[in-house]
Structure 1
Amino acid sequence: MRKSLPMLLMMLCLALFAAACGTSPSKDAAPAASGGAQGGAAPAAATNEELTFKHQLGETKVKKNPKKVIAFDFGALDTLDKLGIEVTGVAQKNLPAYLSKYKDAKYQNIGTLQEPDYEKISSIKPDLILISGRQQTAYPELSKLAPTLYVGVDTKNYMESFKKNMNMIGQIFGKESAVEAELAKIDQTIKDVQAQVKANHKNALVILANDGTISAFGPGSRFGLVHDVLGIPAVDPNLEVSTHGQSISFEYIAQKNPDYLFVVDRGAAVANTASTAAKPLVENELVKKTKAFTDNHIIYLDQNYWYLSGGGLTSVAEMINQAAKGYK
């Protein structure tokens, strides 16, 4: 019995030592568990991450993945729709036909493109407001209500500003890869059209029809994509660059005698009618003497993309496709 007591004590010590060794891995695992907790918190941190963007009207700080988004600019709405990003409020009047789902009552009506409903916007408490040229005078007031980002296209640097806007939206909502893929498709289409233009060498004139009057747009204008991006020569490279274009007559068109005539119908955009509504006005006796009419090269562009929502992932792709299809 005396001999067995030391033996028992030795066995007890060994057992305690083994137990102590067995607990050490759990101590080592504690930092790993802590690291795992940090990794799990990453999405929440990303939600609170703040991005800073410089734009035409100033500098705006935006929290990543904003929940309540208001889109005044239809090009931005077009892009959010393409990327599957939900919005809270839109300007529901004169929505492009392909974005008509946003007339649904589940979307807040935030006023018109020229007259924001500040009271409604304030009640929404948005996390982000997206605007463009039609709302730029309202920027100071809107900025008081929420971070407001200008995403209008600079017509003098069309593709550069367009891509900048798309990349900003991609960063804000974590959709960088999707934006990059869409831009790559657009770039390829542009290259294809440019090759087609080089083989054609024919010029064009872009006009806007508006309730019986017409105005022309050349390089650097809101419809300058035809010339500046696709490379189609302008029949008159010296046209005045302005929001509403240079006022012209049908005698002017007959005198310039363009190979192609691209027509955007503002009246159809406002009245939500067919893009060919301006045909009786445009195809008069003077225009019928031009090469554009003789060769069946008068192209009526879809006003939904060209007038209402230019600058979006869908609209820019469609604008390029329409111009390419017409210019053969």
Structure 2
Amino acid sequence: MLNRSPAILAAFVAGALSLTAMTAVAQDKVITHPQGETTISGVPAKVLVQDWAAFDNLNALGVAVAGVPSSNGPSYLADAVPADALPLGSLFEPDFEGIAAAEADVYFVAARSASAYETSKDLVPTIDLSVNNGAIIEGVKANITKLGEVFDLQDKAAELNAALDAKVDEVKAAAAGKGDALVLVTNAGNLGVYGPDSRVSWVYNEVGIASALADVKDGDHGGDAVSFEFLLEVNPDWVFVVDRDAGTGENTGAAAALLDNELFNQTTAAQQGHIVYLDPQAAYITMHGYQGVMLLLDQVLAGLNG
């Protein structure tokens, strides 16, 4: 056995401690998001979300979630929600007591729950995943990349983003030369138009389908209100429909019933069979979720190629 002097042993121990400290520091990640910066230590094990798009993104990456919103769960994600998931309150009114008691490693808010950040940041490391509606595809990809960093899943994140880019390119190619379109939203018997700053703005901004209406004032829920007479005058080649009532679980099939009328049936879109009903929950509730956007892109693609 080799004999080491006390000085050499002390230097060895100091070096080992220094390396351990460096490793611990390296595990801390500073995540930048719309409301500031959040420090995450290591890879979070217990994860809470107050937004279904955030859950969608985490599920796409294969990250287990321990707590979810207690309302408005989209059907396309139903099988992915753990049966024992902690209910965290509604999208607009989080259960802060339950969130604090959960002692989670990270909590994600976005869109409807973004205002919870000011309270939750003092209870648990909180990250805001809100997305600008004017650049949804870009925002979804940025969030997938960010989550890949948080959970050390960078390769999986890059794979998902490459698939999303490929899908957008496929839909863009299918839309070329197919004419213009409007995205209609039906809401409690009313008709509106969604435009380039809406929940489905990617139809225009990133897929590149021309809008049949030059100026659209996007409303938060019901879009830019229009009449059937005006819709017939604009006469789009294609119509993509968001049924808000079905999206919020109030009245499935309301959009189809509303659009089945004499005026709408005279439009080019109706006569050509160019009407695509988008998944209402993916379009209205989880409009910034990776799997939801992929689902919607597939629906648009199927309609264009039909």
TM superposition score normalised by structure 2: 0.88
Task: Verify the 8 A CA contact 2:193 2:218 in the aligned structure 1.
Answer: no
Instruction: Encode CA deviations 1:232-259: one digit per residue, 9 max, x unaligned.
Output: 0001131013422212222221111111
CA separation of 1:80/1:265 partners in 2, compared to 1, >3 Å: closer, same or farther? same
CA separation of 1:241/1:25 partners in 2, compared to 1, >3 Å: closer, same or farther? farther
The DSSP-based 3-state class of the residue aligned with 1:319 is helix
Which residue in 1 is equivalent to 2:62? 84
Structure 2 residue corresponding to 1:253, chosen from 231, 239, 247: 231
Structure 2 residue corresponding to 1:130, chosen from 100, 108, 119: 108
Kindly state the Cα deviation for residue 322 of structure 1 after the two structures are TM-superposed. 1.2
- Distance in 2 between residues matched to 1:277 and 1:208, nearest whole Å: 11
What does 1:56-67 correspond to in 2, within 5 Å?
56-67=34-45
Which residue in 2 is equivalent to 1:17? none
The DSSP-based 3-state class of the residue aligned with 1:144 is coil
1:307 matches 2:284: yes
CA separation of 1:87/1:259 partners in 2, compared to 1, >3 Å: closer, same or farther? same
CA separation of 1:85/1:288 partners in 2, compared to 1, >3 Å: closer, same or farther? same
In structure 2, runs of 5+ residues without a counterpart are none
Kindly state the Cα deviation for residue 41 of structure 1 after the two structures are TM-superposed. 7.0
- Distance in 1 between residues matched to 2:272 and 2:243, nearest whole Å: 21
CA separation of 1:131/1:114 partners in 2, compared to 1, >3 Å: closer, same or farther? same
- Distance in 2 between residues matched to 1:209 and 1:242, nearest whole Å: 12
CA separation of 1:215/1:64 partners in 2, compared to 1, >3 Å: closer, same or farther? farther
What does 1:142-291 correspond to in 2, within 5 Å?
142-200=120-178, 202-244=179-221, 245-271=223-249, 274=252, 276-291=253-268
Instruction: Encode CA deviations 1:205-246: one digit per residue, 9 max, x unaligned.
Output: 001111211221111322111010100000113101342221
What does 1:22-101 correspond to in 2, within 5 Å?
23=1, 45=24, 49-101=27-79
- Distance in 2 between residues matched to 1:65 and 1:267, nearest whole Å: 39
Kindly state the Cα deviation for residue 174 of structure 1 after the two structures are TM-superposed. 0.8
The DSSP-based 3-state class of the residue aligned with 2:139 is helix
Structural RMSD (CA): 2.8
Kindly state the Cα deviation for residue 24 of structure 1 after the two structures are TM-superposed. 5.5
CA separation of 1:82/1:162 partners in 2, compared to 1, >3 Å: closer, same or farther? closer
TM superposition score normalised by structure 1: 0.82
Instruction: Encode CA deviations 1:175-223: one digit per residue, 9 max, x unaligned.
Output: 11011111111111211222222232x1000011112112211113221
The DSSP-based 3-state class of the residue aligned with 2:122 is helix
Over the matched positions of the two proteins, sequence identity in percent amounts to: 31
- Between the two proteins, the alignment pairs up a number of residues equal to 299
CA separation of 1:258/1:214 partners in 2, compared to 1, >3 Å: closer, same or farther? same
Structure 2 residue corresponding to 1:321, chosen from 291, 295, 298: 298
Would you identify which runs of 4 or more consecutive aligned residues in structure 1 move more than 4 Å? 23-27, 102-105
AA aligned to 1:318 is L
The DSSP-based 3-state class of the residue aligned with 1:199 is coil
The DSSP-based 3-state class of the residue aligned with 1:271 is coil
Task: Verify the 8 A CA contact 1:90 1:107 in the aligned structure 2.
Answer: yes
CA separation of 1:212/1:170 partners in 2, compared to 1, >3 Å: closer, same or farther? same
Which residue in 2 is equivalent to 1:20? none
Larger radius of gyration: 1
Task: Verify the 8 A CA contact 2:172 2:208 in the aligned structure 1.
Answer: yes
Kindly state the Cα deviation for residue 26 of structure 1 after the two structures are TM-superposed. 11
- Distance in 2 between residues matched to 1:144 and 1:297, nearest whole Å: 50
More helix by share: 1
AA aligned to 1:173 is F
- Distance in 2 between residues matched to 1:153 and 1:188, nearest whole Å: 21
Structure 2 residue corresponding to 1:107, chosen from 75, 85, 90: 85
CA separation of 1:249/1:74 partners in 2, compared to 1, >3 Å: closer, same or farther? same
